[in-house]
Amino acid sequence: MSDTEAILAIAKKTIENEAEAISFLATLLNKDFSNAVECIRHSKGRVIISGIGKSALIASKIVATLNSTGTPSIFMHAADAIHGDLGTVQKDDVVICISKSGNTAEIKMLVPLIKRGKNKLIGMTGNPDSFLAAQADYILNTYVEKEACPNNLAPTTSTTAQLVIGDALAICLLELKGFSSKDFAKYHPGGALGKKLYLRVGDIASNNQIPQVSTNSDVKSVIIEISEKMLGAAAVMEDQKIVGIITDGDIRRMLNKYDNIYGLTAKDIMSITPKTIASDVLAVKALEIMQANNISQILVVDGENYKGIVHLHNLIKEGIL
């Protein structure tokens, strides 16, 4: 077997082992899981998630997922908690402790302190007979038969199982709370995902110049307007209303059609059915229209009022495409 074949075989086996373990997790779900979800859902406080080692890294990711989907959460390292950070936990907070064995020294020290504060404790562990499981109000069982590591030592499958159960918690809470795409956008305003959910064509058009010509503008004036405004097109206006559009493509077609362009006006070369979009429509919708019609620009309107142009390059720059 070549090195390439051996490497691919190992990778495939790892993925298959972890996939099998994750599928088995579904059989471990019980009323404790639903009670844990309801406990978090009805809590007046935050979710504090703690762990040690690799479980601490998974705890941080679960915190990030919960925060981004509308459940306020804080990460608290188990070792730091017993050396001063326990003050992170407030009266109404729900605490989740993550530990594969449920018997690590830090967890054994931390759990009684949490119980003393009368906070609800959710234990995420692969050992239902552990100290953590015995002390927890609710147990999230993340049992795996073995790690993907051939020595059954390096946390691999077990941490994947923790991650999946964390995602399951987050999605349950998201759906029960009716967390919508608009809510999601509030927590992701700076990224491409957020922009797809809140950026509107009017926001983009307002930063562009507004190229326009009248129906009787000569060809030279049209070309200058399109060139100066740098959007590859200009709206053709009559009585302050859009009656057409002239694009770079229309200019090229004109040059192919006419040997003598002297005396031609915008009305002679414009396209009379320009695509328009309301200024309050999401920018991602503008992209859909452009793709469906194989165009690079779309005219932005507010009622019958012309507000400008959005170009495909604008959408690329904003990360919409």
CATH number at residue 277: 3.10.580.10
CA distances from 14 to 19, 50, 142, 152 (A): 9, 27, 18, 12
Does 172 share its domain with 257?
no
Known binding-site residues equal 77
Does 31 share its domain with 148?
yes
Does 228 share its domain with 124?
no
Phi, psi of 59, deg, nearest 5: -60, -40
Does 52 share its domain with 156?
yes
CATH number at residue 40: 3.40.50.10490
- CA 172/CA 176 separation, integer angstroms: 6
Largest CA distance in the chain: 91
Decide which of 179, 207, 228 is a domain's last residue: 179
Quick check: 208 and 294 in contact, CB under 8 A? Answer: no
The predicted structure's pLDDT at residue 178:
87
In a domain, 185, yes or no: no
Pick from 254, 245, 252, 251: nearest CA to 213 = 245
Does 78 share its domain with 106?
yes
In a domain, 266, yes or no: yes
Does 160 share its domain with 280?
no
Does 233 share its domain with 163?
no
Does 20 share its domain with 144?
yes
Residue 97 three-state SS: strand
The predicted structure's pLDDT at residue 35:
97
In a domain, 70, yes or no: yes
What range does the domain containing 99 cover?
A: 3-179
Decide which of 124, 145, 179 is a domain's last residue: 179
Does 126 share its domain with 7?
yes
The predicted structure's pLDDT at residue 317:
87
Does 13 share its domain with 123?
yes
Does 156 share its domain with 53?
yes
Does 204 share its domain with 122?
no
In a domain, 93, yes or no: yes
Decide which of 179, 206, 229 is a domain's last residue: 179
Q: Two tokens at 32?
A: 């404790």
The residues with which 218 forms a beta bridge, in sequence order, are: 265
Known binding-site residues for Zn(2+) equal 77
The predicted structure's pLDDT at residue 189:
60
pLDDT tens, N- to C-terminus, the chain (321 residues): 789 999 999 999 999 999 999 999 999 999 999 999 999 999 999 999 999 999 999 999 999 999 988 899 999 999 999 888 899 999 999 999 999 999 999 999 999 999 999 999 999 999 999 999 999 999 999 999 999 989 988 999 999 999 999 999 999 999 998 877 666 666 666 666 667 767 899 999 999 999 999 999 999 999 999 999 999 999 999 999 999 999 999 999 999 998 888 889 999 999 998 999 999 999 989 999 999 999 999 999 999 899 999 999 998 888 887
- How many distinct structural domains can be found in the chain? 2
